[in-house]
């Protein structure tokens, strides 16, 4: 054996760099307490510290960092929504995502693939045209393409007319991308910790202290913390945490299931979505097909996976890609999606002073991570609803001014 090699075997391996320090003692008071250490909560902590100079921030989580829906989504990032409010919001998110790897000094494996939303009915073609017009008007690269163009963009798709739902056209969105979702949470966590933010996983919030309509402290499994301001960012548990503040939300919590196939050689560059067939699929950097469908048919606080989901997904998948028939499913999982009646988030101020909410993230939360963090930080720091979040305020329901975002994923058209 060459000596050089033996030397390496005997040498102590270099210590791995910790992304953030081991959680220490919980402090007695913070300027801002963020409930939920997922992508949104960690991003909000980062922007609070970096852009608003608020560094006495604690991010609490009952589990581990990024262990909820941040690590359970199918990582698709796009801005080709239907409503002007939604498009403006997600457009800012895509712009932030594009430079985020450099900003956080961590490779998020942000990969622009192009995104096809297939249309199988005349109604879906009309919706695609509508979305393309709204997108182009707001400066988002998006257009209606015909089957010949689809064949050029994604030759693997089965464009035969001899199927139950032939492809009539598609909405094509070249900036559509995927990214490593865990890395987004880790990147924000590391950058926030470097700015002095404290991260406290395994710290469950058990109650909120509210006096005369103002929040003043947070009860946790590790004791009480005084808090100047509190932000809840707990997708999947939004109603439960808001309930501690005495708030009722326009949310139903429904499982959203997903699965991946065994790894295959890279063959699918484009992200393929079909609202009519309730299918979306992309190929990850390690070759697995990441697949999802529609949300479960009834509310549950559970992340179990069902055979019905896989049956409902695989039928249309094989119509789009018949050659996948022999491919095996490798893993399956679910997240809990907080569905709102208008498929849009609930963000910003609440009737309780100094209590802020970032909820209602249904099936559209991951792609909004940077913009939500940035704008919620602005909202918490200034105590005012940023213009971009105005359409998503909780009070829109009282005014019956719903957003009607039918461009959301996993929503039937």
Partner 1 sequence: MKIMTCPLNGPRNIAEFVCAGEVKAMPDPAACSDEEWAGYLFLEANPAGLIVEWWLHAPTSYWFIAKRDTVTEQIVATYTVEQFFAQARAAA
CB neighbours of 157 closer than 8 A, spacing ≥ 6?
116, 150, 151, 167, 272, 320, 321
Residue 131 or 396: the one with the smaller Cβ distance to partner 1 is: 396
Residue 126 or 252: the one with the smaller Cβ distance to partner 1 is: 252
CB of 281 to partner 1, least distance (A): 23
Binding mask 213-252 for partner 1 (x = CB under 8 A): --------------------------xx-------xxxxx
Cα angle 198-200-201, degrees, rounded to a multiple of 5:
145
CB contact at 8 A, 103 and 110? no
CA-nearest of 74, 75, 68 to 97 is 75
CB of 60 to partner 1, least distance (A): 19
Secondary structure string (H, E, C) spanning 252-308? EEEEEEEEEECCCCCCCCCEEEECCCCEEEEECCCCCEEEEEEECCCCCCCCCCCHH
CB of 346 to partner 1, least distance (A): 11
328-357 binders of partner 1 (CB under 8 A): 341
In this chain, which of 5, 9, 162, 400 binds partner 1, going by CB under 8 A?
A: 400
Binding mask 280-309 for partner 1 (x = CB under 8 A): -----------------xxxxxx-x-xxx-
Number of residues counted as binding partner 1 (CB under 8 A):
23
Kind of pairing between the strands at 57-60 and 198-200? parallel
Contact window for partner 1 (CB under 8 A) among 52-60, 79-87, 257-265, 395-403: 395-403
CB of 102 to partner 1, least distance (A): 40
Kind of pairing between the strands at 279-283 and 143-145? unpaired
Residue 297 or 322: the one with the smaller Cβ distance to partner 1 is: 297
CB of 304 to partner 1, least distance (A): 7
Residue 80 or 253: the one with the smaller Cβ distance to partner 1 is: 253
Residue 239 or 283: the one with the smaller Cβ distance to partner 1 is: 239
Residue 165 or 397: the one with the smaller Cβ distance to partner 1 is: 397
CB contact at 8 A, 65 and 186? yes
CA-nearest of 369, 379, 375, 378 to 189 is 369
In this chain, which of 3, 148, 398, 412 binds partner 1, going by CB under 8 A?
A: 398
CB neighbours of 43 closer than 8 A, spacing ≥ 6?
188, 369, 370, 372, 373, 374, 377
Residue 238 and residue 403: Cα distance in Å, rounded? 20
Residue 262 and residue 179: Cα distance in Å, rounded? 19
Residue 111 or 306: the one with the smaller Cβ distance to partner 1 is: 306
Determine, following the binding rule CB under 8 A, whether residue 123 of this chain makes contact with partner 1. Answer: no
Radius of gyration of the chain (CA): 22
Contact window for partner 1 (CB under 8 A) among 6-14, 72-80, 141-149, 397-405: 397-405
Determine, following the binding rule CB under 8 A, whether residue 265 of this chain makes contact with partner 1. Answer: no
In this chain, which of 2, 25, 399, 412 binds partner 1, going by CB under 8 A?
A: 399
Cα 202 to chain center, whole Å?
22
Binding residues for partner 1, rule: CB under 8 A, are: 239-240, 248-253, 297-302, 304, 306-308, 341, 397-400
């Amino acid at each position: 054996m060459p000596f050089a090699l033996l030397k390496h075997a005997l040498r102590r391996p270099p210590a791995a760099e910790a992304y953030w320090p081991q959680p220490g003692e919980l402090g007695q008071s913070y300027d801002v307490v963020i409930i939920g250490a997922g992508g949104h909560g960690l991003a909000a902590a980062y922007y609070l510290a970096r852009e608003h100079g608020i560094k006495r921030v604690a991010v609490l989580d009952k589990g581990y960092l990024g262990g909820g829906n941040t690590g359970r989504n199918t990582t698709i990032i796009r801005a080709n929504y239907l409503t002007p409010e939604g498009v403006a919001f997600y457009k800012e998110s895509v712009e932030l995502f594009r430079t985020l790897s450099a900003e956080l000094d961590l490779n998020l494996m942000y990969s622009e693939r192009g995104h096809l939303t297939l249309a199988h009915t005349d109604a879906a073609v009309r919706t695609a045209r509508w979305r393309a017009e709204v997108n182009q008007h707001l400066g988002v690269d998006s257009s209606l393409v015909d089957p010949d163009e689809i064949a050029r963009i994604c030759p693997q798709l089965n464009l035969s007319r001899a199927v139950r739902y032939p492809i009539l056209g598609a909405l094509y969105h070249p900036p559509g991308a995927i990214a490593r979702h865990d890395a987004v949470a880790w990147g924000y966590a590391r950058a926030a910790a470097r700015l002095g933010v404290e991260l406290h996983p395994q710290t469950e919030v058990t109650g909120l202290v509210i006096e005369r309509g103002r929040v003043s402290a947070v009860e946790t499994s590790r004791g009480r913390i005084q808090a100047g301001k509190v932000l809840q960012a707990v997708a999947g548990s939004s109603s439960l945490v808001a309930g501690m503040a005495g708030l009722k939300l326009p949310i139903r919590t429904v499982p959203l299931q997903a699965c991946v196939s065994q790894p295959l050689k890279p063959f699918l560059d484009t992200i393929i979505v079909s609202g009519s067939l309730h299918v979306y699929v992309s190929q990850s950097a390690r070759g697995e097909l990441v697949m999802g469908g529609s949300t479960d048919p009834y509310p549950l606080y559970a992340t179990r996976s069902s055979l019905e989901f896989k049956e409902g997904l695989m039928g249309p998948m094989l119509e789009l890609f018949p050659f996948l028939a022999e491919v095996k499913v490798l893993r399956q999982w679910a997240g809990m999606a907080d569905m709102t009646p208008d498929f849009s988030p609930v963000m910003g101020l609440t009737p309780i002073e100094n209590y802020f909410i970032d909820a209602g993230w249904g099936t559209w939360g991951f792609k909004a991570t940077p913009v939500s963090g940035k704008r919620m930080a602005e909202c918490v720091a200034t105590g005012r609803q940023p213009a971009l979040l105005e359409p998503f305020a909780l009070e829109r329901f009282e005014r019956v001014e719903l957003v009607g975002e039918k461009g959301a994923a996993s929503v039937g058209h």
